[in-house]
Amino acid sequence: MIMWYIIVAVVILASLLVAKNMRKNKKNLGSKPQRSMHKLSEKYGPLMSLKFGNVPTVVALSPETVKDVLKTFDADCCSRPYLTYAARISYNLNDLAFSPYSKYWREVRKMTVLELYTAKRVQSFRHIREEEVASLVEFVKGAASLGNTVNLSNTLMKLSGSVICRVGFGINLKGSKLEDTYEEVIRETMEVLGSFAAADYLPIIGRIIDRVTGLHSKCEKVYKAMDAFFEHSIKQHMEDESLKYYIIALLLKLERGEAELGEYKLTRNHTKGILLNVLIAGIDTSGHTITWAMTHMIKNPRVLKKVQAEVREVIKNKDNITEEDIEQLEYLKMVIKETVRINPLVPLLIPREVSKDIKIAGYDIPKKTWIHVNIWGVHRNPNVWNDPETFIPERRMCPGMGMGMALAHLTLINLLYRFDWKLPDGMEIEDVDLEESYGLVCPKKVPLQLVPIPVASLELLLTSDLHVETDEGEKAKSVKRASVSDGETKANCFQRIWSEEDEIALLQGIVDYKETSGLDPFNGERKALYDLLKPHISVSVTSVQFFQKIRTLKKKFKKEKNKGSKPNNQKLFHLSKLIWGDEEISYAEKDELKTGEGRKRSVFQLWRH
């Protein structure tokens, strides 16, 4: 009997020592582990080994190590470890996100790719997105007419929640089991799913620790709220046969055996587990992306003005904005892509478990090791991005975004076309907070609150002030747009205002284009030149305006006798001489041009990054 007491005491003492060590590691990670891991990598390198309780853990933070994990050794790193609270919320890992790699996982993934998230199905729900965005616009108009501040964080969460409830479940968020609590439930679900739970690292004492910290009770709270919502939705579908075109309807058909999922027949828990992924992924993806995009634009007036100019040129006087308009808005796509770079939807990917011994970056990674991929850190790698903390949409061309961002695009088009935006009285740009909360998905910690200013018609835009801000942060003078006479066409409605920095960027781009491609931009390659340089001008211009400006600059160069005294005039003269000058420019002048104080980064340098 005494021996048993000794054994129990030794086990408890060992558990306490392990728990102490684990708490120390968790304390080092802090409340934002993606940031802490990134900082640690500066000292320990792009592949770090950490120890949490009984679990060996590796963190990948560089493009090379992440590529090894996600591509080179994907087959050996694609499974998931057992996560205690993720298993509870996902109905014992019967979902897609947290399920270990298995035959069931492969069948569910195939079903989601071929049935749930196809471009055709996404398009079939287009009318729902457009209706909900129209409702959002009406709400913002009401606030604007009263001069009220809008809490965009909450409003946009409600928008994405309304869309996903209709698309996924065929019901309205209003009147559902989550109507009054969904924001809190979704936030706390993400906190639970993104937590470093003691129960996952310490077999016995970890569960006690989680009860003391409140993680266990939080998990039970969100599980019961989600389960009640799923039961309500399923009951409604079973009672109403007309609700057969929604995602939940397909899952119920699989559950009844009316459709096949390989050799598997879905149970109710399988259905709920998959619905969990549909609900939380749909709500957080769009709502937080739009909020972060608006935050970065209000913090960077140059970007806001430029993207509004593009949107208003493309949309013009259309009252009914549709998803077809998205394809023409290249700069808006850049803004969204840069937003996702700085604020990735999932900063720290769900951990993976190694299925056999492998070697990454020269290091042996044993079987059963957990691997965390720090996407947040990769997106801030200074070896990949110049000035990674700065919001620069122009840093690279956007090859196009998936249809999963359709709601984000459509919402931003409406918010930018129909309204101007300003900060609440007494608040400055420096006061806009960029801190995030931590969870599986990281929303903005302090809700974004802005004051909308309605734009009644195109004509109102023509008399508004346009403030252009250069990349160096210097504000150009505010220039009044000329009013448009009744005889002018819509094509000439927007009077383009070129800053000196725009003119320099234009000429520098022509020089770089000629030197890099060896082609004559004015002889058959005009469209290529326009397409390449347009995104790097701070105001949106048509091809006619683009080449008219080039002709104007050429005439100015031919007419002037000297470089002028201003630094920008000298720079314009040098660049013009490189393009149109009859004399060879001296090597000294080339050095002066390339090393001059305040020189803008060439567009080709931007594209490389």
Do 373 and 519 belong together in one domain? no
pLDDT for the residue 73: 94
Residue 239 lies in a domain: yes
Cα-only R_g, the chain = 28
- For residues 559 and 392, the model is more confident at 392
SS3 assignment, position 533: helix
Strands 55-60 and 370-373, how do they pair?
Answer: parallel
How far is 556 from 554, CA to CA, in rounded Å? 5
Residue 484 lies in a domain: no
Strand partners for 480: 465
- What's the pTM? 0.70
Residue 442 lies in a domain: no
pLDDT for the residue 398: 37
pLDDT at residue 606 is higher than 50: no
Residue 222 lies in a domain: yes
Q: What is the CATH number of the domain that holds 37?
A: 1.10.630.10
The DSSP code sequence of 84-125 is: HHHHHHTTTT-SSSSSPSSHHHHHHHHHIIIIIS-HHHHHHT
Q: What is the pLDDT of residues 209-257, one digit of tens each?
A: 899 999 999 999 999 999 999 998 888 888 877 777 678 888 888 888 8
599: CB partners within 8 A, 6+ apart: 571, 593
Strand partners for 264: 261
Residue 449 lies in a domain: no
pLDDT for the residue 274: 92
Do 105 and 230 belong together in one domain? yes
- For residues 30 and 171, the model is more confident at 171
Query: What angle do the packed helices 500-517 and 543-559 form, to 10 degrees?
Result: 90
pLDDT at residue 400 is higher than 50: no
Do 218 and 356 belong together in one domain? yes
Query: Side by side, which strands form the sheet with 55-60?
Result: 47-52, 55-60, 370-373, 352-353
Alpha-carbon dihedral angle through residues 570, 572, 574, 577, given to the nearest 10 degrees: -140
Q: Which of 344, 364, 393 is the last residue of a domain?
A: 393
Residue 133 lies in a domain: yes
Q: What is the pLDDT of residues 512-548, one digit of tens each?
A: 777 766 666 776 556 777 777 877 777 777 777 788 7
Do 381 and 513 belong together in one domain? no
CA–chain centroid gap for 542, Å, is: 28
How far is 470 from 502, CA to CA, in rounded Å? 9
546: CB partners within 8 A, 6+ apart: 530, 533, 534, 537
Residue 91 lies in a domain: yes
Q: How many CB atoms lie within 10 A of CB 594?
A: 10
Q: How many domains does the chain have?
A: 2
**Residue 319 binned pLDDT confidence (cut-offs 50, 70, 90):** confident
CA–chain centroid gap for 489, Å, is: 37
How far is 62 from 65, CA to CA, in rounded Å? 5
Do 385 and 527 belong together in one domain? no
Residue 290 lies in a domain: yes
pLDDT at residue 10 is higher than 60: no
Strand partners for 173: none
pLDDT at residue 331 is higher than 80: yes
Q: Which of 378, 393, 408 is the last residue of a domain?
A: 393
How far is 576 from 569, CA to CA, in rounded Å? 10
How far is 115 from 43, CA to CA, in rounded Å? 46
Q: Which of 343, 370, 393 is the last residue of a domain?
A: 393
User: Is residue 407 within 8 Å of 156, Cβ to Cβ?
Assistant: no
Residue with tokens 């709500």, as numbered in its chain:
283
Listed as own residue / partner, the contacts of 551-559 with beta carbons closer than 8 Å and 24 or more positions apart are 553/503, 553/506, 553/507, 554/579, 554/580, 557/581
Task: Output the CA–CA distances (angstroms, integers) from residue 335 to 25, 295, 329, 385, 442, in the order listed.
Answer: 36, 11, 10, 16, 19
Supply the range of the domain harboring residue 177: 24-393
Strand partners for 465: 480
| Residues shown for the chain | 609
Q: What is the pLDDT of residues 111-121, one digit of tens each?
A: 887 777 777 77
User: Is residue 371 within 8 Å of 58, Cβ to Cβ?
Assistant: yes
How far is 60 from 226, CA to CA, in rounded Å? 33
Query: What angle do the packed helices 406-418 and 126-145 form, to 10 degrees?
Result: 30
Do 388 and 512 belong together in one domain? no
User: Is residue 104 within 8 Å of 254, Cβ to Cβ?
Assistant: no
